[in-house]
Amino acid sequence: MRTILPLLCLAMLVFAVTTVSASDDTGQSVYAKSCAACHDSGVMDAPKIGDKNAWAPLIAEGVDVLYENANKGVGKMPPKGGNMQLSDAEVKAAVEYMVEKSK
């Protein structure tokens, strides 16, 4: 038991540090894994990330509308961009990342 306890504590510390670090990059990570396929190229009429003209009217509708559209789907985009494993918080982080890169 004495040898297991320090290893367990070390594992918990590594997990906590990894989780905190990962949360800082959640939007970018979710974007890269679940959104970039469409929003990098504009396939299926997805507004390209960084295209200020395409994003301006969407941003003007408000972020709450963007969150709802991303979660429920809009136009040709399925709910959560087709990745139903994403939490609402992850979708929100990805939307915030795209908005920030497209202002």
Closest C-alpha among 60, 61, 80 to residue 70: 80
Which pLDDT score, from 0 to 100, does residue 11 have?
Answer: 40
Which pLDDT score, from 0 to 100, does residue 2 have?
Answer: 53
End-to-end CA distance of the chain: 55
Q: Is 10 helix (H, G, I), strand (E, B) or coil?
A: helix
Residue with tokens 């609402």: 88
Digit-by-digit pLDDT tens for the chain (103 residues) are 455 544 433 344 344 334 333 445 899 999 999 999 999 999 999 999 999 999 999 999 999 999 999 999 999 999 999 999 999 999 999 999 999 999 9
Q: How many other CB atoms are found less than 10 A from the CB of residue 23? A: 12
Tell me the domain boundaries of the chain: 25-101
CATH of domain 25-101: 1.10.760.10
